Structure 1
Amino acid sequence: MPSARKHRRKKMQQIPRDRKQLRRKEKKQKSTNIACKEIRNSWDASKTLQQNMKEMGLAFNANKALPIPRKLPLPKIIQNCDLETKSAVKKPEVLKAMEMEVELGEKEKQLRLPSDDVQFCTYMLDKYKENYKGMCRDRKNVFQLTPKQIRDKIRTFKRCKGQYKLYLDSKQAAHTDVEMKT
């Protein structure tokens, strides 16, 4: 006969962990994630936010950095502020790198639509021009898009510079062929 006593599996003990390492890891995870590469590279974790910003020549509080009194014209204020900050800057390479980035300009995002959407938009534009209500009633509007949805889809198509340029070029080539034949 089996015994009346139930045998339960013993729970595994927790694996000993280095608490100091865990705290360091948590501290790293809690630290702010800085998007700007130049600021991230010259950041000193032992200093406060205001101290870091001041060393880099950046303003923590724009209202304190550029006070705008009603009496003085704006250009004089900006010139005075530039002189004060340049003397306190300990890490000028951050400012220079950020200025170079601004001069280069922002990279344009290459937006691309799926080929089905491009065919739909080109067909609708060729047939209806800007008549979105007419596009809404067309047989090729399989997904039953409303006029505003079609308008938005065509606007995104026009924002896709490469694809829209191909459409315009093909339309221009077709137009010149018609003129040559007549």
Structure 2
Amino acid sequence: MKIKKQHRKKKYLHKLNRKRMHKKQENTGEVLCKVIKESWDHRKSSYRNLRDMGLATDPNKTIKIPNFKQQQLKRAKQMVNEGESESEEEQNIEEQPIKGHVVGLLEKESKAPRKRRFMLPKGQVEFITYLLDKYGHDYKAMERDKKNYYQETWKQLRQKIKTFMGIPKQYGEYLQSRGKLEEDEEELKKQAKALVMDD
């Protein structure tokens, strides 16, 4: 019975491309981050590359969860060897990463302002534009409208309109289609201030 099982495992599968399968298993994936890609050394392992850049490979090793037993042992060792503890601490000080600039660049990139890609769905835009055309900024009248199927309160509708006005592309298209784009900028600022004051 055992021999049959072993034989069954070793059957050659014609439909499998072993070379492609092996390549897929060995492949660690493409590095999409431009900063890391530029300073990546293909001769080194991924662990050594990340260590040289000052990045963590395993968060459990870098941010250790305090263990009560280990803390007590460390404290006991310090009490016994008061003079030697200082030399151990000096040994534990980590070396500065070779490519330390990578961390700075990554931090700078993460703090850089991003383009807003958020857009409201088409149905919601149609509903909001319908309300704005019919009632202007009278939110309490919007609340009583027959098309307010979800019975949203005037504050919820006001928030939706605020969100819509905060998306330049969609709100700009709405103003252009209604011929309101030539209006004074001061008027638009007043409307925005009125919305903020309502809060």
**TM-score, normalised relative to structure 1:** 0.48
**TM-score, normalised relative to structure 2:** 0.45
